Structure 1
Amino acid sequence: MLFSLALILIIGFTLSGILNRVRLPGILGMLITGVILGPFVLNLISPDILNISKDLRQIALIVILSRAGLSLDVKDLKRVGRPAILMCFVPATFELVAIILLAPILFKVSYIEAAIMGTVLAAVSPAVVVPRMLKVMEGGYGKEKSIPQLILAGASVDDVYVIVLFTAFMGMYQGRGFSVLSLIAVPISIVVGLAIGILSGLLLVFVFKKLHIRDTVKILIILSVSFLFVTLESEVKAYIPMSGLLAVMALGGTILKKYEALAKRLSNKFSKVWVGAEILLFVLVGAAVDIRFVSDAGLMAVILILSALIFRICGVYICLIKTKLTNKEKLFCAIAYLPKATVQAAIGSIPLSAGVEAGNTILTVAVLAILITAPIGAIGIDRTYKRLLTKS
């Protein structure tokens, strides 16, 4: 395991640094590191790490969402209003509809298999989007119209919406039918997640004000509580839906609202933790990519992915109708909603293992979606935010 960790850190940081020097996003180097070291190429990552890969990726995601919560001011979201709500589900719905219409034509799959494929592909990647939006916020770009906050909130809820639909469509395929309750689960999981996060945030603020605790220990406490949120989500999902990741963000946002000075200090510390968490996240995402399937997909998969992205972009523009955003700012929002990585790596193989006939095709398209959209989205955000957004 130690040898594998050494390779992951040394090669990952090296490739990331090289690509940054040529003005490409470092995460591309991390993804490439994962593909090369992963079980489908050189197989140099220890099985001990691969066995807990999902948990490690979850920890890294919690780190960046905790930092996002500590930077996400509720007043900014209130100022955005309607578009913030629409961005949570409209772009994903447009992309899902596109795949349901096109996949049966391009791959000869059934409509229910196309719906499963659509839910695998339709989620935006918070792991790519969130750190970049934090960077944009720290630079003061788009701050006046709360554009980074709009994208942060939408990208986080987008995943909840898509994963609930994925579960519903898998149930239909396996003969359990489609339950209206599965759709009601989306708003319930959002409300429950926010409520638990806010209440926990208020309790932690009370404790932090009453007791003298080092900031490093506060970081560990916040992470521990966040881990409990994600664990609780799995434990109670049979009884009540809950979004653990939204609870993580709500916890950070509550601390920011009630104890702003502490939130800013902790956000700086989380940014340092993210340096190590980021490389683990993207290298392990890359390791989950089986490039043997890429050659089988061919041109049809690329056409499907790019066509669905066009629908997603249309969905973003519809969300932003009658807002004060300029055309440049709307274009930036569309670009920021392109990258996919974490959700696709997490659930892309589930249909195949569950016996879905088109499971191999779904996994192949998910792999290609990561390889195409993660770099395009990351490069697009990094190269355009200074040109398309106004600096306060």
Structure 2
Amino acid sequence: MLSSIIAILLLGFFGGQLARRLKLPALVGMVLVGIVLGPQVGDRLSLTMLALADDLRTIAVMVILMKAGLGLDREKLKQQGSVALRLGFLPASLEAIAVALMAMVLFQFDFATGLLLGCIVGAESPAVIVPGMLRLKSLGWGVKKGIPDAILTGSALSDVLLLLVFSLLLAFLAQGGAEGLTVGNISLSALQLLPLQIVLQIGLGIACGGAMAKILVSLLAKQNWTQTAVQDGLVAASLALFLVVSSTQLPIFSGYLAVMTTGFFLIELDAPLARRLRGSFDGLWTIAEIFLFVLLGASIQLSVLESSLLPGLLLLMVGTLLGRGLGWYLSTLGSNWNAREKLFLLPGNSAKATVQAALGAVPLSQGIAGGDIILAMAALSILVTAPLGAWAIPTFAPKLLQKGTVDPTKVSVNQSLTILAAVDTSAIAKQVLTKVAELARRNDARVVVLHVIQLADPPGVENLREQTKQILADIRHQFIVTEGVVPEQILRTAQEQGAEEIILGKRGHSVLDDLLLGSVSQYLLATSVLPVMVVESEDRVSLSRAH
């Protein structure tokens, strides 16, 4: 068990990083590691770990849905409410129907069995779509029209719908018919009950999420039961998981929708708490995504793909391009989305992974005719669409979406901060390095220390290098020495290194220097598009932002 955990974490992490270096999504590397470690190839995972795979995947999906809820924007949802609602029902439903019709032709399924397959294949993957949309929100792509928010909400609603239809069809096929409901003289069939079940699952899911958000605010913000952000995250994750587990024991509400709604209501009830929890769940996702995608790869049955590969690819193509494509068109009809934004739904709203991994083997285990083919199609949909979706979302967003202003109160902006410190060999260099060290530790930033050589300067460079090494000992830094015109070299290096801020010192004490901030500082303030911080020799700091 422990060796399996070590293998999953280490090999999954480095497999993901290797995929990134090859310009592929990290998900691809993690899934491949899972295939190699899984029973189909290397068989290096313990039976206990494989038995826990479904539970671990559930925890991972809970984490990513809470992140999604904490990243939703009420104003953008209000703006795109009708589109989000239609995205929650039309694309998935029409894809499921298209898949059912194709399965009748390709595999000679009856319509009920084909629709069972359609419900599995048509479900969207929160494990791929949610981090992809949150990444777009953190970069500003499509945020002006709320496109990532509409896709996030629609994805959650569509999975509620398809999971309900799946459970109904499974009972119908396994038991020869699904039970209805009789109240007095009124009898309703299972099919007639379906709309009521959908409304109940969604309504109670939202209500449970709102109630849980109030409980979390009371425990963590008003009564102060916790002292750190880690403790906040522990309590919130445990209660969110309680919602998911409760929904399986009491299937009258959607646990996943309740978790996502909890995060959404937390933003409305207590924005500072939501911000703290957003950071905690970012950390949890770092671990959860490795388990999710490695175990996803381990669950894929490669052997069942051989005989149905080409028909399966045709089925996926028809389901996505015709069924889901028609759903996208109807969902965005009359909206303010332009043609390029509508086209983005193809890469942004097609990925399959989590639901397919969880449900793919269920029909086979229940003895449903054609269960082996259903399992093969579920595995194929993961192998084809999950890597493509994870790659296509960040690739096509800059080409198809407009970039807007990022709202840091709604999403974590994860980026590597680089600070450029321009220093000379005078005494002010120590103050500049001390200030930049303080800022770097506060923001976990990387520091580039730049020294532009002046006349007869080289003897002092080694002392400056040693001083840099001592003051920035615990900070990622790079020491660069160059020649040329000082302000021009500072701006050039800042651009090459991708710096977000420039810090330099001011030695002058005269009234004229006080007015001008020195010639170099004045030039940078007049020309730099980056913020410029000037450290004065009297231990005073002047912060000026270039226009």
Give the TM-score, by structure 1 length.
0.97
How big is the shift at 1:10? 2.1
Aligned mates of 2:146, 2:249 — CA distance in 1:
35
Question: Which residue of structure 1 aligns with residue 219 of structure 2?
Answer: 207
1:365 to 360, 373, 377: 377
1:175 aligns with 2:162: no
- Show the 5 A alignment for 1:260-279: 260-279=271-290
How big is the shift at 1:334? 2.8
Contact 1:39 1:45 in 2 (8 A): yes
1:300 aligns with 2:311: yes
Question: Which residue of structure 2 aligns with residue 285 of structure 1?
Answer: 296
Question: Which residue of structure 1 aligns with residue 239 of structure 2?
Answer: 225
Aligned mates of 2:2, 2:246 — CA distance in 1:
31
Q: Give the SS at the match of 2:83.
A: helix
Contact 1:290 1:367 in 2 (8 A): yes
Contact 1:164 1:183 in 2 (8 A): no
Aligned mates of 2:2, 2:66 — CA distance in 1:
28
Structure 2: which 5+ residue stretches go unaligned? Answer: 179-188, 405-547
How big is the shift at 1:262? 2.1
Question: Which residue of structure 1 aligns with residue 399 of structure 2?
Answer: 387
1:251 aligns with 2:265: no
1:317 aligns with 2:358: no
Range that drifts further, 202-211 or 258-267: 202-211
Aligned mates of 2:349, 2:114 — CA distance in 1:
21
Contact 2:63 2:237 in 1 (8 A): yes
Q: Give the SS at the match of 1:42.
A: coil
Question: Which residue of structure 2 aligns with residue 101 of structure 1?
Answer: 101
Aligned mates of 1:170, 1:190 — CA distance in 2:
21
Aligned mates of 1:196, 1:52 — CA distance in 2:
27
Which residue identity lines up with residue 87 of structure 1 in the other structure? L
1:234 aligns with 2:245: no
Contact 2:16 2:26 in 1 (8 A): yes
1:355 to 367, 372, 389: 367
- Show the 5 A alignment for 1:187-202: 187-202=199-214
Question: Which residue of structure 2 aligns with residue 343 of structure 1?
Answer: 355
How big is the shift at 1:206? 2.8
Aligned mates of 1:35, 1:286 — CA distance in 2:
5
How big is the shift at 1:265? 2.4
Structure 1: which 5+ residue stretches go unaligned? Answer: none
Offset from partner CA, 1:291-338 (integer Å, 9 cap, x none) = 011112131111111111112122112100111111111111232111
Q: Give the SS at the match of 1:156.
A: helix
Offset from partner CA, 1:207-245 (integer Å, 9 cap, x none) = 3332332221111111111111112112222xxx20011
Q: Give the SS at the match of 1:322.
A: coil
Aligned mates of 2:309, 2:168 — CA distance in 1:
29
Question: Which residue of structure 1 aligns with residue 503 of structure 2?
Answer: none
Q: Once the two structures are aligned, what percentage of the paired residues are identical?
A: 35
Aligned mates of 1:68, 1:287 — CA distance in 2:
26
Q: Give the SS at the match of 1:124.
A: coil
Range that drifts further, 167-176 or 112-121: 167-176
Aligned mates of 1:211, 1:301 — CA distance in 2:
55
How big is the shift at 1:54? 0.5
1:14 aligns with 2:39: no
How big is the shift at 1:391? 1.1
Question: Which residue of structure 2 aligns with residue 111 of structure 1?
Answer: 111
User: Higher relative CO (CA 8 A, sep ≥ 6), structure 1 or 2?
Assistant: 1
Aligned mates of 2:140, 2:200 — CA distance in 1:
34
Higher normalized helix content (fraction of residues): 1
Offset from partner CA, 1:230-283 (integer Å, 9 cap, x none) = 12112222xxx2001111111111111111122122212211211110010011
Question: Which residue of structure 1 aligns with residue 165 of structure 2?
Answer: 165
How big is the shift at 1:366? 0.8
How big is the shift at 1:153? 0.6
- Show the 5 A alignment for 1:4-83: 4-83=4-83
Paired positions, count? 389
Range that drifts further, 170-179 or 265-274: 170-179
Aligned alpha-carbon RMSD (Å): 1.2
Offset from partner CA, 1:124-166 (integer Å, 9 cap, x none) = 1000000111111111111110011001111111111111000
Higher normalized strand content (fraction of residues): 2
Write out the 4+ residue segments of structure 1 that deviate beyond 6 Å after TM superposition: none
Aligned mates of 1:262, 1:139 — CA distance in 2:
23
1:328 aligns with 2:328: no
Range that drifts further, 146-155 or 64-73: 64-73
How big is the shift at 1:72? 1.0
Q: Which has the larger radius of gyration?
A: 2
How big is the shift at 1:97? 1.2
Contact 1:69 1:251 in 2 (8 A): yes
Aligned mates of 2:311, 2:384 — CA distance in 1:
14
1:378 aligns with 2:390: yes
Contact 1:71 1:263 in 2 (8 A): no
